A and B are shown apart, each in its own frame.
Chain A
Amino acid sequence: MTRVPLSTLAHGRSGDKGNHANVAVIAYTDAGYAWLREHLTAAWVAAYFAPLGASRVKRFEAVNVRGLNFVLYDALAGGASTSLRTDTQGKTFALALLRAEVDAPAELCARRA
């Protein structure tokens, strides 16, 4: 096991739908995707983003692109129209999630295979 930021295993992009944010995490390898599917649960992501005050977090799978898509409901403090935040659209959330430190098998961390 080695402690690495998630960005070693995956890339991603995030955006908004009204007051909800979506955070897509895309694994670089099949093995990395298998690990992410097991460990990057909706509950884990909800706990990581807890300060944002999301009402719930739901995970969707897009195995075809090795993707996990998290929807953070009510996480944008009102959304683009009414939020007072600088990042009203959750554009930086994917980068924030990819900074998370995880304990992953060393052989998975050969980035961008």
Chain B
Amino acid sequence: MRRVRVGNGCGFWGDSPDAPVRLAEAGRLDYLTLEYLAELTMSILAVQRQKDAAAGFATDFPHVLGRLTRALAEQPNLKIVTNAGGMNPHGCAAKARDVLAQAGLDGRRVGVVSGDDLMPRLDELIAAGHPLSHLDTGEPLATVRDRVVSANAYLGARPIVEALRLGADIVVTGRVADASLTVGPVAHEFGWDFGDFDRLAAATVAGHLIECGAQATGGLWINADDATHLETVGYPIAEIGDGGDFIVTKPDNTGGVVNVETLAEQLLYEVADPARYYTPDVVADFTTVQLRLAGPGVVAVTGGSGRGVTDTYKVSVAYRDGYMAAGTLVIAGPNAAAKARRSGEILLDRLRQAGLTFAHSLVETLGAGACVPGVVTAAFDPPEVVLRVAVRDPRRGAVERFTREFAPLVTSGYAGTTGYTTGRPPVREVFAYWPALVAKSAVHATAEVLP
């Protein structure tokens, strides 16, 4: 029985540039998926596109595609589906076409999925009765409308299927749900009906399990140790059958591990109610999924089920919300943690004397229990800690002034203050996240293939 092998070689923009190449060359894949877009990546891309109309996509992708041309030449049936298009899927697709042409792969057709970008239509949508209210607070988007930089609906698998049906070998999308990058190819290959919620849910489980790359194959696994060989970690492959059952594995002769533990952890990763996992394609029930070790490094996954589908898309909005900066110094010696905390307070006190208090500030002592503050604390006096101070404020100038107050602690702070080697911390603009819903009928997803 035919099965579709989908491997995911990228879990976020910033993931290993070698992973997609290794996976494509060793994975005997039908489809390589590459996932680039975290919630706030879109706001950064939106600002880039404001400055340069040709920008606004994940620029890593053309580079990776250039390195994938060998695998593409050797595997004529290998297809790629990626959301690298970000805020400018057409620009990204055009770039991809150039890369393919330069490698003599002119025959490979590039498809584009768009329509997720609601920014140009925001006022029209609000006027038409789509308030894009904040999912948690219920506030209408009008509250922050003048500061919005990006608004994107999470599209589903349908336009990906359409692009593939039109003959695309490489599909470049903007914002689509991560799992839909997998659901699209599989639904296309088997000709699934979009009312077949159990199959869609099963493929959604597969997509969810592999979307974060190595997090399914030993990365972040709590029991990973030297024997896990994360230095050569293989990226995950889901091999999916027409019925929706699938196995998860990774290329032979790679490090990492695929077992019931790694997949159970990933199944629940970033999930709220596991019985209702919402995507644009289906409301998937993860509580009916069974994981069974089917061989060394092979887990069989069965039983995914669907509970129908909503008539809304999730929308991810980003709006400008001031500036922030965070600086670090190392404080060593006896009572390092206490002295580091005091150093941070001294720094903020000096700024107060200069007339500056910040809307938000935070002093952390890394090494003494800062990650889960107040919950996990050091049981001993560590020989050194990292002092980290962060501020956020609507005034850029105030945050800049803060970044100039770090270095003085090297001479006017406590003995054992060191680690001032990277210069002043950068000031960055804050883009706050605004999750919302919009009626599917108000969003027009499109798929096309570049000539």
Chain A 37-69 interface residues, beta-carbon cutoff 8 Å to B? 48-52, 60-67, 69
Do residues B270 and A60 form an inter-chain contact, with CB atoms below 8 A? no
From A18, A62, A78, A94, residue with most partner B Cβ within 10 Å:
A62
Do residues A20 and B272 form an inter-chain contact, with CB atoms below 8 A? yes
Please judge, given known A-B contacts A11-B265, A17-B272, A64-B288, whether A84 and B362 are in contact too, CB under 8 Å. yes
Whether a CB of chain A sits under 8 angstroms from the CB of B321 is yes
Whether a CB of chain A sits under 8 angstroms from the CB of B281 is no
Whether a CB of chain B sits under 8 angstroms from the CB of A82 is yes
Whether a CB of chain A sits under 8 angstroms from the CB of B223 is yes
Distance of B373 from chain A, by nearest CB (Å): 6
Tell me which of A12, A92, A99 contacts B265 (CB under 8 A).
A12
A37 to B422, CA, bound (A): 48
A80 to B271, CA, bound (A): 16
Q: Mark interface residues in A81-107 (1 if CB within 8 Å of B CB, else 0).
A: 110111100011111101100000000
Whether a CB of chain A sits under 8 angstroms from the CB of B372 is yes
Q: Mark interface residues in B122-151 (1 if CB within 8 Å of A CB, else 0).
A: 000000000000011000000000000000
Do residues A67 and B274 form an inter-chain contact, with CB atoms below 8 A? yes
Whether a CB of chain A sits under 8 angstroms from the CB of B290 is yes
Please judge, given known A-B contacts A17-B270, A71-B272, whether A48 and B364 are in contact too, CB under 8 Å. no
Whether a CB of chain A sits under 8 angstroms from the CB of B376 is yes
- Chain B residue at minimal CB-CB distance from A94: B222
Do residues B266 and A51 form an inter-chain contact, with CB atoms below 8 A? no
A13 cross-chain contacts in B, Cβ below 8 A = 220, 222, 265-266, 268-269
Do residues A81 and B275 form an inter-chain contact, with CB atoms below 8 A? no
Whether a CB of chain B sits under 8 angstroms from the CB of A36 is no
Please judge, given known A-B contacts A62-B287, A64-B290, A82-B430, whether A87 and B371 are in contact too, CB under 8 Å. yes
Do residues A99 and B289 form an inter-chain contact, with CB atoms below 8 A? no
Q: Mark interface residues in B330-374 (1 if CB within 8 Å of A CB, else 0).
A: 000000000000000000000000000000111010100011111
Q: Is the interface of A mostly helix, strand, loop or mixed?
A: mixed
B265 cross-chain contacts in A, Cβ below 8 A = 11-13, 24, 26
Distance of B214 from chain A, by nearest CB (Å): 13
A112 cross-chain contacts in B, Cβ below 8 A = 223
B135 cross-chain contacts in A, Cβ below 8 A = 18
Tell me which of A61, A80, A86, A95 contacts B222 (CB under 8 A).
A95
Do residues A16 and B270 form an inter-chain contact, with CB atoms below 8 A? yes
B268 cross-chain contacts in A, Cβ below 8 A = 13, 22, 24, 26, 62, 65, 67, 69
- Chain A residue at minimal CB-CB distance from B290: A64
Do residues B374 and A51 form an inter-chain contact, with CB atoms below 8 A? yes
Do residues A81 and B274 form an inter-chain contact, with CB atoms below 8 A? no
Could you list 15 further interchain pairs (A-B, Cβ under 8 angstroms) beyond the known A18-B135, A48-B375, A51-B373?
A: A17-B270, A18-B136, A18-B433, A49-B375, A60-B272, A64-B287, A66-B264, A69-B268, A81-B432, A82-B430, A85-B371, A87-B371, A93-B372, A95-B222, A112-B223
Q: What are the 7 A-B residue pairs with the smallest beta carbon separation, nearest first?
A: A51-B374, A24-B268, A84-B390, A13-B265, A84-B362, A15-B270, A96-B372
A-B CB contact pairs (8 Å), 17 listed = A11-B223, A12-B222, A20-B272, A22-B272, A26-B264, A49-B372, A52-B374, A60-B274, A71-B272, A78-B432, A82-B324, A84-B360, A84-B362, A84-B392, A85-B370, A86-B388, A92-B372
Residues of chain A whose beta carbon lies under 8 Å from any beta carbon of chain B: 7, 11-13, 15-20, 22, 24, 26, 48-52, 60-67, 69, 71, 77-82, 84-87, 91-96, 98-99, 112
